[in-house]
Structure 1
Amino acid sequence: MKVAVLAEAAGETRVSAIPETVKKFAALGASVAVERGAGLAATISDADFEAAGATTGTRPEVLDGADLIFSVTGPEPASLAGAKEGALLVGALDPLRRRDVIEAYASAGIEALALEWMPRITRAQSMDILSSQSNLSGYKAVVDAAAAFGRAFPMMMTAAGTVHPAKLFVMGVGVAGLQAIATGRRLGAQVSATDVRSATREQIQSLGAKPIFVEGVQGIEGEGQGGYAGETSAEYQKAQAELVSGHIAKQDIVITTALIPGRPAPRLISDAQLATMKPGSVIVDLAAEAGGNVEGCVAGETVQLHGVKIIGAVQLARTLPADASALFSRNIANFVAAFWDKDAGRLALPDDDEIVSAVRLTKNGKIVNARLTG
């Protein structure tokens, strides 16, 4: 089989393969062709890919005869002209917001596989691009907050007096939130965290942070569907708002991470709550692209309200392109390896496999994913 690795559109710094994974595909018996310049933003030269065994060329050249097409973000359908019918497109395709693009893939006979819809099950963990990229986003959110904050994070005992530690509050304890907690602790902040899922209390404590939970009103027991939190009752939302209002006024840094798939991000911090925070405080809203957890947040911008800096974080993994590319490309390589038929020397995707049915969007000229057809 031939693998084509595409260069990304302007603004995307990641690449869907690295020399390490090129070698893995070669070991499976596949050939790899990389579009020229695909890895430059991630500090991978064409010569690096060639040294690993890949060929490099123009997009038409790499697409010619390709059975597998890798891309970090879904390419425009017109840019895939020349791809053979039945080729598999693998990447983060944003199906719900780009339905017209998915339909165009189907019309072109391309089988699209959206890895961001990877099910949250044990055997799929090594293929989960959302987790790998969110991990980096959680780290970078704290680093960006530290850069925007006008004080130091750790306690410092000096001859001139004591510098008190910054207080950091993480709202939403998924992959990004857990990494934000760990990073804040490493930098020396006093860290607290909250989530609507009661099962996260132990995770927060295990990282040395203080759990802040609504008591006496039931939230969500265990994990939400797919590892995400779901909707809570009006009673719980009221109790949580009151709890947050009392806690947030004492915080220096807040990281918000709450998302509900397919819906606008839940509002966690209101303008009235912002007004209670200390001037110079910083909020990083990781849900900015989905409407934001913070009232007044603007995706891709830093705004200041009531003396509080609100960073509308967008695709923070892109700001760490080398590591983000390495993790993303390994996720793809693990997916391919899991379904590689060694005897046939090709990728075999059983219709009845729960991973395949979750990520497959199109087949035989039609949209086949239940999340798009239901």
Structure 2
Amino acid sequence: MAGITIGIASETATGERRVALTPETCKKLTARGARIRVQRGAGHGASFSDDAYAQAGAELADDAATALDGADLVLCVQPPPSTTLSGLREGTALVGLLAPQADAARGEAIAQRKLIAFPLERLPRTTRAQAMDVLSSQAGMAGYKAVLIAAQLAPRFFPMLTTAAGTIRPSKVLIVGAGVAGLQAIATAKRLGAQVEGFDVRPETREQIESLGGRFLDLGVSAAGEGGYARALTDEERAEQQRRLGEHLKSIDVIVCTAAVPGRPAPKIISAAMVAGMKPGSVIVDLAAETGGNCELTQPGETIDSGGVTVAGPLNLASQGAVHASEMYARNVLNFVNLFLDEKAVEAGALSFDWDDELLARTVWPERTINA
């Protein structure tokens, strides 16, 4: 990989502690001949020291501009500021959770500099792409952390306890949404000893929920969609779902919300009226807060009290488990960039993109047409 330079700058998003390159993945890339430049302190939030990167073969840069100067490939978790993108050389490949359409200035900077942008949230979720799926790896950490936050906020034990003062019943925990985050939340709540239920409008998730020791909450409304994702419910279906769910929530101690529809605001599942009907001391942790929340009362980044019910809307939960989240993310990224760091690229000293590979063609922004 002679001549190929990979740059990593410190993340600038508020509260972001993860890093896109760990000493482990740095060592694997430098072993192939890549030149790695890492901004000093880039890994500190995830407990990776500058010395660890240096020992893995990276060069340390004092600032972001130096780390990214002349880079052929830039790796990141969240998108760099538009001013940083505008400073990259034309044709630089950029890999991360970029959301180019969410910010006009960001999208314009990518287009003006003719960057080859790979927003990893666009990666097709196929069997072949599993080892590159950052959404799944980070959702697992988010689901785990959400339950720990719920346990901390709840004024109850999660497990059943038999004490000299009498028997304490286990908390009743409901996990809304049975994607990767929801399933991890179910497993975590079960390990903590709670009585766990899982709710998802996709009936095919029943087996997954039950395999983790949870009980599938069947409200008689199905929204099975294509590709394993939920479809939007009709008005009638939503009304019936809400009526049945509202009755059920009166006996629930803790709710962890994880439901999401790709590319759209999070579906509103828990109404203000449902919250009002819950027992005082109940807790809702809304992992979907970043896309608007599953609960009508969720305030992103805030924890509020509504009639004795605590509603928390934590943001960027994966970052709270920065060590393991970074390790998983960096391995996902390494597996993805291996698609264009093949032997031909090593010999030529340039990135090699096969646009007939659907993982590259469908992930790159704008998407490219695959030749028949």
TM-score by length of 2: 0.93
> Which string of whole-angstrom CA distances, capped at 9 and with x for unpartnered residues, describes residues 21-68 of structure 1?
001112332121101110111111111100111111132322222111
Q: Deviations over 1:185-207 (max 9, x none)?
A: 00000000111111101111111
Q: Secondary structure at the match of 1:137?
A: helix
- Paired position in structure 1 for 2:7: 4
How far apart, CA to CA, are the structure 2 residues paired with 1:100 and 1:85? 17
Select between 308-317 and 97-106 the one with higher mean Cα deviation. 97-106
Structure-1 separation of matches of 2:290 and 2:44:
26
Q: Which amino acid aligns with 2:255?
A: V
Aligned-residue Cα RMSD (Å) equals: 1.7
Q: Which amino acid aligns with 2:55?
A: A
Q: Which residue of 1 aligns with 2:303?
A: 302
Cα gap change, 1:87/1:196 in structure 2, threshold over 3 Å: closer, same or farther? same
Q: Which amino acid in the other structure matches residue 353 of structure 1?
A: D
- The answer to whether the 8 Å contact 1:302/1:309 transfers is yes
The aligned length equals: 361
Q: Which residue of 2 aligns with 1:230?
A: 231
Quick one: which amino acid aligns to residue 339 of structure 2? Answer: A
SS in 2 for 1:258: coil
1:72 pairs, out of 65, 68, 77, with 77
Q: Which 5+ residue runs of structure 2 have no aligned equivalent?
A: none
SS in 1 for 2:129: helix
Q: 2:102 and 2:231 mapped to 1: Cα distance?
A: 20
- The residue identity in structure 2 corresponding to 1:12 is E
Post-superposition CA distance 1:145-174 (Å, at most 9, x none)? 000011111011122211110000011100
Moved more, 237-246 or 69-78: 237-246
- Aligned residue in 1 for 2:272: 271
Q: SS at 1:254's partner residue?
A: strand
Is contact 1:4-1:34 (8 Å) kept?
yes
1:354 is the counterpart of 2:358: yes
Whole-angstrom distance in 1 between the partners of 2:228 and 2:330: 23
1:37 aligned residue: 41
Residues 173 and 200, structure 1, Cα contact 8 Å, conserved in 2: yes
Q: TM-score, normalised by structure 1?
A: 0.92
Shift of 1:7: 0.6
- Alignment partner for residue 129 of structure 1, among 109, 134, 153? 134
Query: 1:332 maps to which residue?
Result: 333
**Alpha-carbon shift at residue 225 of structure 1 (Å):** 4.0
Contact 2:219 2:245 in 1 (8 A): no
Tell me what 1:18 maps to. 22
The reply on whether 1:311 has 2:312 as its aligned counterpart is yes
Q: CA offset at residue 266 of structure 1?
A: 1.1
Aligned residue identity for 1:369: E
Asked whether the 8 Å contact 1:14–1:324 carries over to 2, the reply is: yes
Paired with 1:312 and 1:343, the residues of 2 have a C-alpha distance of 47
Deviates more, 1:188-197 or 1:289-298: 289-298
Greater shift after overlay, 350-359 or 206-215?
350-359
> Aligned partners of 2:219, 2:159: CA distance in 1, in Å?
28
Looking at structure 2, the residues matched to 93 and 99 of structure 1 have their Cα atoms a distance apart, in angstroms, of: 12
